[in-house]
């Protein structure tokens, strides 16, 4: 429900409201300022309201350019997460929405760039039109002031032959405007989900056009082509008193005449907005380079079926929590590319591990390198860990964990950690029972996770706690050959597909049945439902949580938690 969402996401909602509010305030304030301020009376005579549209969108562009780098300062976010470790976990969890906010700001930049560019195209057209006018109107007179002195010009177009294209490609504002707009278009289009998943390198390299974007942004306003009347000129020849004389000047003018108005540029100020975040980001990148230099020892390499590579590593001073992720770089493949991977080890283990499946050029090459290495291991660099720990799982007596496809990765860490806590009789662990559901399309993907489940199954059976973990594997995509094999070997003690004691179920889970069974088995428990998977699945699980929760607080209740890994 909306109420639940607000309770869990009040911080996100507050940040969003503040961001929208500041954007609306900046746009409205500066729009009205440039639309009404008397210093721009003459500028408006030529440009009309397009001046206000261009200047108001410019202010918002500066504000959003200031924000865009902050959500991608990973180490800054880790620091904030650490300093507010005493805060409620929901607050820390909101810091994991950093990329959502980053995308939101990027879309705002794209929209504001369109407004700013269109407004300036109108401005150029009007400057051009006024320059060529010979009707003695106020815009025509103002456009010829440059002939009377260097500081008097208002219209930047000083020749009748100047075209819009000429201004766009030969002036500093025109050229930088074109370059940063192209950089922004490339960055936005190359960061779609499809390109990120399938051509990560394209996304990675085009995103570094942000350097050109910020350099262009700082230079963009330096020439000061849009001008307003100077303070001294305002005092001497205020437009209320003197505008009339510009178009109706008497030839034999004596003491009553006004001098021509004088104009000055609006100072460039983008650098003031972006200086602090750019310095912060430079510090962030230096910190990443320094952290990457720290030695990582690859202690074990396991090649699982279906081209899944497991790397077990050690690094001095590395401390992880369940559900966190790291960035990995392999200089042998690329010095610049860093790829994120969820940690699959438990904090209790003396190493940290990741599972890498072949999904793109970089991962394919990494797997090939490790497969071919017989003696010397290739060098690996690690930055992290990042992300909020998923320790909420440990707060429920009964936990239902749902992983879809590769979304099972974080649960490897969680399941192992729960088992270690369980063995060590950890007082913070309230969990008495775990139900684990894994939805997967093909059997190949089961392989590496099977080994983990099998070893957990064995350990639990040995310690007489075989009923601590109940898991169900759902094969959502299957063909007739699997079906025939299953039919032939239906009475075996272990599963045909996975070799585990629990049978694989073909098709999708009937959530009503699953929730009813859990509710019947634990009539007085609080059950935590955790998902790492797609949004559609989240909706149906949330619905089931509401349907099967009792109104009586002493009876069973289900709480839904979607993890963002």
* pLDDT 10s digits, 181-215: 999 999 999 999 888 877 888 898 999 999 999 99
Out of 113-127, 241-255, 378-392, which region has the weakest mean confidence (pLDDT)? 241-255
SS3 for 206-243 is: HHCCHHHHHHHHHHHCCCCCCEEECHHHHHHCCHHHHH
User: Which CATH number does 389-478+497-562 carry?
Assistant: 3.40.50.80
pLDDT of 492 higher than 50: no
pLDDT of res. 447: 72
Q: What is the Cα–Cα distance from 327 to 164, expressed in whole angstroms?
A: 46
For range 383-398, the mean pLDDT: 82
Question: Can the peptide bond before residue 385 be classed as cis, meaning omega within 30 degrees of 0?
Answer: yes
Q: What is the pTM of this model?
A: 0.82
% of the chain at pLDDT higher than 90: 44
Maximum Cα–Cα distance across the chain? 115
Query: In degrees rounded to 5, what are phi and psi of residue 12?
Result: -60, -45
Query: Cβ distance 66 to 277 under 8 Å?
Result: yes
* pLDDT 10s digits, 131-160: 988 888 999 999 988 887 767 789 988 887
Long-range CB pairs of 3-8, under 8 A, 24+ apart, other chains included: 7/90, 8/90
Q: How confident is the model at residue 485 (pLDDT cuts 50, 70, 90)?
A: very low
pLDDT of res. 86: 58
User: Structural domain boundaries of the chain?
Assistant: 20-171+223-244+258-287, 311-372+379-386, 389-478+497-562
pLDDT of 251 higher than 70: no
Highest average pLDDT, of 251-255, 400-404, 407-411, 468-472, comes from: 400-404
- Residue 85, classed as helix, strand or coil, is coil
Q: Which stretches of 358-508 are assigned E, i.e. beta strand? A: 381-386, 398-404, 433-440, 469-475, 504-506
Does residue 494 or residue 309 have the better pLDDT? 309
Query: Cβ distance 69 to 280 under 8 Å?
Result: yes
pLDDT of res. 421: 83
Which secondary structure element, helix H or strand E, spans residue 101, and what is its range? helix 98-132
pLDDT of res. 491: 45
Q: What is the Cα–Cα distance from 50 to 57, expressed in whole angstroms?
A: 11
> Closest by alpha carbon to 48, among 126, 115, 158, 152?
126
What b/e readout covers 316-350, taking b as 16+ CB neighbours within 10 angstroms? eeeebbbbbbbbbbbeebbeebbbbbbbbbbbeee
Q: How far apart are the first and last CA of the chain?
A: 23
* pLDDT 10s digits, 308-363: 899 999 999 899 988 889 999 999 998 888 888 999 999 999 999 999 988 788 99
Q: What is the Cα–Cα distance from 526 to 531, expressed in whole angstroms?
A: 17
Query: In degrees rounded to 5, what are phi and psi of residue 22?
Result: -65, -40
Out of 417-426, 473-482, 488-497, which region has the weakest mean confidence (pLDDT)? 488-497
Report the mean per-residue pLDDT for the chain: 85
pLDDT of 385 higher than 80: yes
% of the chain at pLDDT higher than 70: 89
Does residue 302 or residue 452 have the better pLDDT? 302
- What DSSP line would sit under 359-402, residue for residue? -SHHHHHHHHHHHH-SSSPPP-EEEEEES---GGGGG-SEEEEE
Out of 69-83, 107-121, 249-263, which region has the weakest mean confidence (pLDDT)? 249-263
Query: Cβ distance 473 to 464 under 8 Å?
Result: no
Quote the tokens at residue 293. 């230099």
pLDDT of res. 501: 57
pLDDT of res. 497: 46
pLDDT of res. 502: 59
Going by CATH, does the domain composed of 311-372+379-386 fall within 2.40.30.10?
yes
Query: Cβ distance 174 to 167 under 8 Å?
Result: yes
* pLDDT 10s digits, 15-60: 999 999 999 999 999 999 999 999 999 999 999 999 999 999 999 9
């Amino acid at each position: 429900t909306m109420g639940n969402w607000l309770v869990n996401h009040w911080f996100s909602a507050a940040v969003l409201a503040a961001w929208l509010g500041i954007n609306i305030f900046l746009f409205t304030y500066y729009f009205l300022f440039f639309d009404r301020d008397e210093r721009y009376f003459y500028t408006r005579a030529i440009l009309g309201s397009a001046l206000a549209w261009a200047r108001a969108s410019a202010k918002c562009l500066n504000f959003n350019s200031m924000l865009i780098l902050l959500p991608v300062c990973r180490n800054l976010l880790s620091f904030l997460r650490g300093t507010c470790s005493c805060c409620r976990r929901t607050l820390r969890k909101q810091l994991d929405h950093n990329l959502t906010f980053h995308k939101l700001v990027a879309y705002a930049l794209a929209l504001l760039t369109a407004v700013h560019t269109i407004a300036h195209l109108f401005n150029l057209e009007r400057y051009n039109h006024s320059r060529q006018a010979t009707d003695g109107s106020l815009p025509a007179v103002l456009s010829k002031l440059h002939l009377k002195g260097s500081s008097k010009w208002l219209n930047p177009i000083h020749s009748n032959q100047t075209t819009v294209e000429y201004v766009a490609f030969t002036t500093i504002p025109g050229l930088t405007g074109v370059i940063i707009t192209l950089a922004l278009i490339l960055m936005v289009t190359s960061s779609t989900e499809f390109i990120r998943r399938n051509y990560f390198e394209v996304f990675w390299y085009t995103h570094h056009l942000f350097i050109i974007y910020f350099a262009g942004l700082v230079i963009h306003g330096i020439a000061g082509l849009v001008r307003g009347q100077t303070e001294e000129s305002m005092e001497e020849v205020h437009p209320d008193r003197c505008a009339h004389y510009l178009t109706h000047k008497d030839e034999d003018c004596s003491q009553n005449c006004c001098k021509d108005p004088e104009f000055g540029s609006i100072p460039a100020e983008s650098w003031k907005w972006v200086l602090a975040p750019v310095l912060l980001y430079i510090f962030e990148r230096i910190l990443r380079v320094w952290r990457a230099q720290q030695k990582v020892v690859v202690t074990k390499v396991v090649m699982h079926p279906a081209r899944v590579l497991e790397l077990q590593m050690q690094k001095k001073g590395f401390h992880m929590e369940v559900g966190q992720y790291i960035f990995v770089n392999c200089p042998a493949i690329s010095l610049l590319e860093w790829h994120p991977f969820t940690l699959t080890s438990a904090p209790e283990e003396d190493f940290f591990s990741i599972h890498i499946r072949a999904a793109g050029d970089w991962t394919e090459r990494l797997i090939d390198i490790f497969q071919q290495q017989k003696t010397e291991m290739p060098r690996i660099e690690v930055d992290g860990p990042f992300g909020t720990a998923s320790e909420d799982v440990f707060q429920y007596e009964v936990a239902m964990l749902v992983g879809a496809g590769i979304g099972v990765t974080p649960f490897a860490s969680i399941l192992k950690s729960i088992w270690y806590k369980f063995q060590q009789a950890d007082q913070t662990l309230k969990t008495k029972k775990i139900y684990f559901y894994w939805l997967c399309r093909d059997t190949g993907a089961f392989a590496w996770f099977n080994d983990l489940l099998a070893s957990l199954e064995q350990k639990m059976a040995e310690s007489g706690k075989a009923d601590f973990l109940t898991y169900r594997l759902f094969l959502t995509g299957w063909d007739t050959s699997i079906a025939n094999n299953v039919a032939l070997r239906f009475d075996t003690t272990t599963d045909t597909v996975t070799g585990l004691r629990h049978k694989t179920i073909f098709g999708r889970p009937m959530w009503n049945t699953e929730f009813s069974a859990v509710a019947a088995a634990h009539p007085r428990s609080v059950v935590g439902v955790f998902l790492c998977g797609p949004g559609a699945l989240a909706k149906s699980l949330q619905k089931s949580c509401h349907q099967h929760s009792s109104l009586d607080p002493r009876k069973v209740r289900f709480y839904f938690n979607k993890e963002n890994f």
